Amino acid sequence: MELLVGSSRPLPSCHFYVFGATGDLVSKRAVRDAMVQLAETHTLEGSRDPLVLLGQQTVPAGPYLEAFRTGDAESKPISQTGFEAFKKLARLDDPEAQILGVSVKDASDYQKLAPELGDDNAVFYGALPPKLYGVFLDNLRLSGLSRQSRGGFRRILLEKPFGNESSEARALNEKLVHDFQPGQVLLVDHFLAYPGMTNMLSFRSDPVVDEALSSKYVEKFDVKVLESIKSNDRPYFRDTGLVKDMVQNHAIQVFSTMACDLPAEENGDAIRAQRQQVVQNIEVDEASCRRGQFEGFNDPAQGSPPGAAPSQAETYVSFRFKVKSPRWGAVPFRLVNAKGVDHKRSGVDIYLRALPEKLASRWSVPAGQPAVIHTTMNPIARIWVDFPTTQKSLEIPYDARVPDRPPYATLFCQAIRGETAIFATPAESLAAWRVADQLTAVLQKRPLISYRAGISIEQIDDR
């Protein structure tokens, strides 16, 4: 099924340009893991210029590669084989190699790419701060690099969030409508590319399972995005908090993947439209909105940067909502997002008041009994079902068709192929910004619940 694993077509020849290659996301975090995996598996072979790393200034490759291999406390180790393969893929194995400098704000600087690019296919990936997206898009257009030749493609990937505010997101959307072809700019949310997310989609794409996911059987539906990391050392998070950094994108993507109607036709744009529709129909219960911050968020002894200004960024958000749709009716949803808690888990818990007959037969249990479907996409891909009346559990096998690889490796390959299922639409992001704006307006009037780092989400909920 193409929506689950992508097509089996060979990757077309393509230049892949990474803007912001000297930033942490590319050189130390998730993109680093993906580039090494793609190099080790020779996935991008066949392209004349498969991976080009770009920084704001030209710098020698030697020091960059040394830092790339070492990483930091959050980086995953890479093998010597993987490191050598990456150097070759990025053409950094020559002693005189450099990270090419291209100023994102200078349209003329983009012309450095034109001689090698010619009329070939290209993907331009912007691992950049959202404040640079507007000028990045403008200069790709003004330089002519975004112009697609007949039969070829020039695609642009933008990292999350789609703007720092809803007003920025609307302005960016206007730019996409007027200056680019539909689908030419793809919005990245790496949660959509986690193998565990795809496994969740596979599970619910079974018509027998999907039948149970409706107001006829569901009593309540909880979305949980929980992390043990604190993130109080990150300037962006200190400025924004959970609503803008996590709820507006990652958490809502987990919800929309499990709650949207599945399209009859098997194509990426159709499922993106369904995700978009379910997000547009969220109705927040403002009375239920709560926020909190763990004790010591601004204490350098707990990770806060020394000398940093005190921050009121929320590290706990909880709210209830309904989805205005025939499928869900009056089913109550709850979304809880927290950092600094006792464990990491991103997934959903779906409480069924009674198992439908077909699903009960599939699982070889009596029909009509209550059940709780648990799905987890991160840190491991797992789906299991609890039966409270019998105190038994059932493990759902992982879909073997879903490849276990870094999410950005999947994102990059599907961007090159032009497969869109795991990219957010601008309209979907704007709908999520509407929810974030409403939450922000309400939460600003609510006190910050204080909790001790490392406690359970249930303990915070009880406060």
424 secondary structure, DSSP code: B
What homologous superfamily is domain 2-159 in, according to CATH? NAD(P)-binding Rossmann-like Domain (3.40.50.720)
pLDDT at residue 229 greater than cutoff 60? yes
What pLDDT is attached to residue 49?
76
Mean pLDDT, rounded, for 247-272 = 93
**CB burial readout 28-51, b (16+ within 10 A) else e:** bbbbbbbbbbbbbeebbeebebbb
β-pairing verdict for 382-387 and 218-227: unpaired
Contact between 346 and 377 (Cβ < 8 Å): yes
Helix, strand, coil distribution of the chain in percent, nearest 5: 40, 20, 40
Give the list of residues 6+ apart from residue 24 with CB closer than 8 angstroms, or none: 72
Collapse the DSSP code of 297 into the 3-class scheme (helix H, G, I; strand E, B; otherwise coil) and give the result: coil
List the domain boundaries for the chain: 2-159, 192-461
CA 37/CA 48 separation, integer angstroms: 19
Residue with tokens 């959903």: 348
- Report residue 97 as tokens: 């190699």
Q: Which amino acid is present at 340?
A: G
CA 17/CA 415 separation, integer angstroms: 12
pLDDT tens readout for residues 164-174: 999 999 999 99
What pLDDT is attached to residue 5?
57
Question: Topology of 192-461 in CATH?
Answer: Dihydrodipicolinate Reductase; domain 2 (3.30.360)
Asked if domains 2-159 and 192-461 share a fold, the reply is: no
311 secondary structure, DSSP code: -
- Report residue 290 as tokens: 């709560």
pLDDT tens readout for residues 30-89: 999 999 999 999 999 878 779 999 999 999 999 999 999 999 888 999 999 999 999 999
CA 223/CA 377 separation, integer angstroms: 12
Q: For residue 292, which of 260, 264, 314, 261 has the smallest C-alpha distance?
A: 314
pLDDT tens readout for residues 387-421: 999 999 999 999 988 888 999 999 999 999 999 99
- Report residue 276 as tokens: 């978009």
Mean pLDDT over the full length of the chain: 95
Collapse the DSSP code of 296 into the 3-class scheme (helix H, G, I; strand E, B; otherwise coil) and give the result: coil
**CB burial readout 293-327, b (16+ within 10 A) else e:** bbebbbeeeebbeeeeeebebbbbbbbbbbbebeb
Percent of the chain with pLDDT over 90: 93
CA 231/CA 302 separation, integer angstroms: 10
Residues forming beta bridges with residue 336, ordered by sequence position: 224, 318
What pLDDT is attached to residue 9?
74
The more confident residue out of 46 and 445 is: 445
Contact between 329 and 219 (Cβ < 8 Å): no
The confidence band for 150, taking pLDDT boundaries of 50, 70 and 90, is confident
pTM (2 d.p.) = 0.94
- Report residue 241 as tokens: 């908090």
